[in-house]
A and B are shown apart, each in its own frame.
Chain A
Amino acid sequence: MLSSFTLGQYYNTTSVIHRLDPRFKLLQLIFIIAFIFVCKNFFALFLMCALVLIAMLLSKVPFRMYLRNLKVILPIVVFTAILNMLYVNQGEVVLFSWWIITVTLDGVLKAAFMVIRILLLILISAVLTYTTTPTELTDAIESLLKPLKFLGLGELVHTLAMMMTISLRFIPTLTDETDKIISAQKARGADLESGNILSKIKALLPILIPLLFSAIRRADDLADAMDCRCYSGGKGRTRMKKLVPGAKDYITTTILIVVFAAVIVVGKVF
């Protein structure tokens, strides 16, 4: 039942995007998202579309994987489109009018603009999650937040990264365990499927309590094991793998800066 649930959505293949330094990838993603919002007109937006499309092609992840992501957010897209069409009532060209509903050309354009924006956001985020393992992401976040140690927050950053690592490590373990508990409770005659929402929530209790109990016991064991391996927080700790940016990272960043500059110029000129 839960075994189909996979952690993150890393798509294992080798591509330029896969091999980028995860810190660069993460920062590039943040800037691309920012610039998707900066776009003032369709011309600028088309530049971003081209950028996202190229990133998707370079990632070597099949398009159906991306489509799957879009399917999930379809309701939000439709909702946004309708809302924008109805709310924007400016412009002379009225396409459709009935009772209190008026749809203008401007409204349709605005809706299209918003929809493209959302789609781009989802697609470019998917490029990151398909090409970067959760571990790489955690390392990137820890490394990027390192400057916070000058504010005395170094240990906090390390602790958060360690918590992320441990969570990622234990999600499959606890998923397996949940499956086992569900089977065990079913074998004892527990009814998990029928009834209204309230009785379904109630039926979850016999699953959640043993799960919580076992998670705490595991945490206790893990703490012992970490103690035994001389863990004492982030202080004095080194890493085996150092993230080292290469030519790919600088080249992609340069390309992005050019595109961003173009977006600003196009936004001003047209």
Chain B
Amino acid sequence: MQNIIEINNLTFQYDGDSPNSSAAVEGINLQIEKGSFTVILGHNGSGKSTLAKLLNGLLLPTEGSVSVDGLLTTDEKNIFEIRRKLGMVFQNPDNQIVCTVVEEDVAFGPENLGLEPSEIRKRVDSALETVDMTEYRFAAPDRLSGGQKQRVALAGILAMEPECIVLDEPTAMLDPKGRKEVIETITRLNKEKGITVILITHFMEEAENADRVIVMDSGKITADGSLFDVFSNTGLIVNAGLALPQSVELLSVLKQKGFNVKPGYISPKAAAKEIYRALKGGTL
């Protein structure tokens, strides 16, 4: 399958940092397939947000290169095309909504692209429909809940018809209900619309639907593989400064105690099945 993102030997160091201090992102090689759902996990300061900003040219590489759909981020004239193809949603929903009315905010991106008013209207209506916020289209953003605001922000990106959406801890400031709404919407976008999703988070439970999980620590990729493979290696997750999901932790303790279980199951249901299998297998 074709890759939408190609990262070669990427290193980035913030300007203010002394040359001797370690880089925020160091020596990263990464390809993201079109249509895939990738989760990037890492604790605060692991370089995951910096990596996100490098993807669409908000930050430019100190060394190495990033290209989106074959376009290099370092080339000034590509930048708008890259940002249209690769939309980004940030952590704080309050700080990414520009306008005072929901539908006008969703229109902000397409308006910047210089589209015809009728085309903008069409995209805004369909984006709001997709995130299930049509009934709030005339509302003021500050009257919405966190989850609703984040869905509006997502609609604002969708209206630009991107091929890939990068979400930088989109649920960190939300309550469990808002978190669920947002994750469900993202999953649906990936499965139904075939949009490539890169979800950056430190909530491991959100990796549940991922095709691929990448773990970052100190600016480097320390694990990269399927959900099951990555979570089977519990030591690595703990070393990256992340707390294990409860189900994985339970399975790994069982394994230590001599049960024949594999710890890579993240959802409670899958973990329960694994335990059932192990018990029925009669390994005790």
Chain A residues proximal to chain B, CB less than 8 Å:
133-135, 165-166, 168-169, 172-173, 176, 218, 221-222, 224-232, 236-242
* Chain B residue at minimal CB-CB distance from A138: B100
Q: In the assembled complex, which residues on chain B have CB atoms less than 8 Å from the CB atom of A238?
A: 111, 114-117, 120
Q: Which of B28-36, B90-98, B215-223 contacts A (4 or more CB under 8 A)?
A: B90-98
The smallest beta-carbon distance between B191 and chain A, in angstroms, is: 24
Q: Which residue among B98, B100, B107 has the maximum number of chain A CB atoms within 10 Å of its CB?
A: B100
B98 in contact with A226 (CB, 8 Å): yes
Cβ of B84 within 8 Å of any chain A Cβ, yes or no, is yes
Known pairs A221-B96, A230-B112 / 17 extra A-B pairs, C-beta < 8 Å:
A169-B141, A218-B92, A218-B94, A225-B90, A225-B95, A225-B96, A226-B98, A228-B157, A229-B108, A230-B83, A230-B84, A231-B108, A231-B112, A237-B111, A238-B117, A240-B120, A241-B107
Nearest-Cβ distance from residue B17 to partner chain A, whole angstroms: 18
* A135: contacting residue among B101, B156, B160, CB under 8 A: B101
The binding surface of chain A is classed by DSSP as helix
| Complex contacts, B56 vs chain A, CB 8 Å | 228
Residues of A contacting B110 in the complex (Cβ-Cβ under 8 angstroms):
240
Residues of A within 8 A of B96 (CB): 221-222, 225
Complex: A166 Cα to B111 Cα, angstroms:
16
Q: List 22 A-B contacts (CB under 8 A).
A: A133-B100, A169-B98, A173-B142, A221-B92, A222-B98, A224-B90, A225-B90, A225-B95, A225-B96, A227-B83, A230-B80, A230-B109, A231-B112, A232-B80, A232-B112, A238-B117, A239-B107, A239-B111, A240-B117, A240-B120, A241-B117, A242-B117
Cα distance A164–B144 in the bound complex, in angstroms: 21
Contacts of B112 in A (CB 8 A): 229-232, 237
Residues of B within 8 A of A232 (CB): 80, 112
In the bound complex, CA of A231 to CA of B79 (Å): 11
Nearest CB of A to B70, in Å: 19
B160, A229: Cβ atoms closer than 8 Å: yes
Q: Which residues of B contact A (CB under 8 A)?
A: 53, 56, 58, 80, 83-84, 87-88, 90, 92, 94-101, 103-104, 107-117, 120-121, 124, 140-142, 153, 156-157, 160
How far is A255 from B176 in the complex, measured between Cα atoms in Å? Answer: 57
Contacts A135-B99, A221-B96, A224-B58 given; indicate if A229 touches B109 (C-beta within 8 A).
Answer: yes
Complex CA distance for A239 and B157, rounded to whole angstroms? 17
- A228→B85 CA distance, assembly (Å): 10
How many angstroms between the C-alpha atoms of A220 and B83 in the bound complex?
A: 18
A172:B140 contact, CB within 8 angstroms: yes
**Complex CA distance for A230 and B160, rounded to whole angstroms:** 9
Measured between C-beta atoms, what is the minimum distance from A18 to chain B in Å? 14
Residues of A within 8 A of B156 (CB): 229
A66 → B minimal CB distance (Å): 24
Tell me if A166 and B83 are in contact (CB < 8 A).
Answer: no
**Separation in Å of the A139 CB from the closest CB of chain B?**
9
Q: How many angstroms between the C-alpha atoms of A12 and B87 in the bound complex?
A: 35
**Which B residues are in CB contact (< 8 Å) with A173?**
94, 142
Contact B58 A228 (CB under 8 A): yes
CA A172 – CA B100 in complex, angstroms?
Answer: 10
A237 in complex: contacting residue of B114, B116, B124, CB < 8 Å: B114
A127 to B271, CA, bound (A): 64
Would you list the 9 A-B pairs with minimal beta carbon distance, nearest first? A225-B96, A221-B95, A240-B107, A172-B142, A229-B109, A240-B120, A230-B112, A228-B88, A236-B114
Q: Which of B53, B83, B95, B117 contacts A222 (CB 8 A)?
A: B95
- Find out whether the CB atom of A240 lies under 8 angstroms from the CB atom of B58: no
**Quick check: A221 and B90 within 8 Å, CB to CB?**
yes
Residues of B within 8 A of A242 (CB): 117
Give chain A residues whose Cβ lies under 8 Å from the Cβ of B97. 169
Q: Find out whether the CB atom of B99 lies under 8 angstroms from the CB atom of A169.
A: yes
Q: Kindly state the separation between the CA atoms of A135 and B104 in the bound complex, as whole angstroms.
A: 10
Question: Given the known A-B contacts A229-B112, A238-B115, are A165 and B95 also in contact in the complex, defined by CB atoms under 8 Å?
Answer: no
